[in-house]
Amino acid sequence: MSALAVSHWPGALVRTAAMFSKEFVQLRRDRLTFGTMIFIPLLQLTLFGFAINTTPRHLPTAVLAYEDSDVGRSILAALRNTTYFDLVEVVHSESEMDGLMRSGNVLFGVEIPAGFERAVRRGDRPALLVAADATDPVAAGTALGALEGVVSTALARDRSVPETRQSVTPFEIRQHRRYNPAAVTSLNIVPGLLGVILTMTMLIFTALSVTREIERGTMESLLAMPIQPLEIMIGKITPYIAIGFLQAALILSFGTLVFEVPITGSIGLLALLSTLFIATNLSIGYTFSTIAENQLQAIQMSFMFFLPNILLSGFMFPFAGMPGWAQMIGEALPLTHYIRIVRGASC
């Protein structure tokens, strides 16, 4: 190495150190960016560590018992004691059970037929009928897999039930997976993608709208014109509603034609509620654009709002498997309710 190159080393180190200090000063002044760097990892750790559970528990369950027997009471006690099911309703007719499942108030229905105890004691292996809302195959499959073991354990402790071989249960579980009998995941994922894509695009489009005008210097010209701020906001948001409708139409058409997702609900009602959902996300994005000082901050705010939406809305993970505090946050997010709407219209 030549002497000239060696002589440049002290100056290079000083200049590098000055740039290093300058970046820290700039980062300290940009509090939103610094907060994002700290908040996002903590948010991800909290959500993935505490809120996300791929094995859902405490699933609302209704029971239809045609007889009041010791075996029936043992089954009810087993359902109450397990963490997989929450016995929220004891119904008295099939129509009442169907109404609860259609409304989404319960996800499982257990039917104990007449003569079940007598058939069990005689060793006839009667059928225990289980209806499951299979719109979310993950939640339904895990609970159905645990149900047989729960009931078998309860009946094994009943001395009135005859002993059977370990591999043979004293009853048969007949499953009826409603709304998605083949457990096709696309029937659950594709409708949810409609809400996720609309949330992401509508937030980003409008979050950048005002900050872009400010950075280009055209916002001052707009404010100098004889136009009110409310009129500016409506004028900026309205075109994106049409874009959101176009996106929704493309996604629904593609999902119906390619993934064979049926649309069984009212198209008009879905369009009306989609308008409300799109306008809500546009308003949130526009609010971010008025707070942010530049386009980078607007994108950071949008991402911080989008992350809880995609994780706590029930799109990626079963909503019923989240703890109570996470469900409360999820209920406050627009994507949670829109996913329920669009999945209800397509199943």
What confidence category does residue 154 fall into, taking pLDDT thresholds of 50, 70 and 90? low
Q: Tell me the pLDDT tens digit for each residue of 245-267.
A: 888 889 888 888 888 888 888 88
Question: Does residue 296 sit within a domain?
Answer: yes
pLDDT at 160 over 60: no
Distances (CA, A) of 226 to 167, 231, 290: 82, 10, 20
From the list 51, 45, 46, the residue with the least C-alpha distance to 324 is 51
For 191, which DSSP code?
H
Q: Which helix (H) or strand (E) holds 57?
A: none
Same domain, 211 and 143: no
Q: Which one has a higher pLDDT value, 236 or 91? A: 91
Q: Same domain for 300 and 242?
A: yes
- C-alpha to C-alpha distance for 43 and 39, rounded to whole angstroms: 6
Does the pLDDT value for residue 337 go beyond 90?
A: yes
Joined together, the tokens standing for residue 138 give 């993950």
Residue 81 in contact with residue 74, Cβ under 8 Å? no
Same-domain status, 147 and 210: no
Q: Which residue do the tokens 């149900």 mark?
A: 147
Q: Residue 90 domain-assigned?
A: yes
Quick one: pLDDT band at residue 163, thresholds 50, 70, 90? Answer: low
- Structural domains counted in the chain: 2
Domain annotation covers residue 132: yes
Cα Rg of the chain, angstroms: 28
Task: For residues 94 and 240, state if they share a domain.
Answer: no
User: Is the Cβ–Cβ distance between 135 and 188 less than 8 Å?
Assistant: yes
Region 13-33 average pLDDT: 70
Q: What tokens appear for 335 in the block?
A: 């994507």
Average the pLDDT over each of 2-11, 275-284, 305-314 and give the range with the smallest value: 2-11
- The predicted pLDDT at position 4 comes to 45
**Residue 342 region, left (φ>0) first, then alpha (ψ -120 to 50), else beta?**
alpha
Q: Distances in Å between the alpha carbon of 220 and those of 212, 213, 337? A: 12, 8, 38
Is residue 197 domain-shared with residue 340, that is, in the same domain? Answer: yes
Task: Please give the residue range of the domain that contains residue 252.
Answer: 186-346
Low-confidence winner among 6-10, 26-30, 186-190, 194-198 (lowest mean pLDDT): 6-10
Give the mean model confidence (pLDDT) for residues 183-209.
86
Instruction: Tally helices (H) and strands (E) across the chain.
Output: 13, 5
Calculate what percentage of the chain has a pLDDT beyond 70: 82
For residue 182, give the 3-state DSSP assignment. coil
Final residue in a domain of this structure, among 157, 178, 199:
178
Half-sphere exposure of 103 (CA within 13 A, CB side): 11
Q: Is the pLDDT of residue 181 over 80?
A: no
Give domain status of residue 50, yes or no.
no
This prediction's pTM: 0.75
The CA distances from residue 123 to 150, 294, 331, in Å, are: 19, 74, 47
pLDDT on residue 24: 67
- Asked whether residue 99 falls in the same domain as residue 236, the answer is no
Domain membership of residue 240 (yes or no) is yes
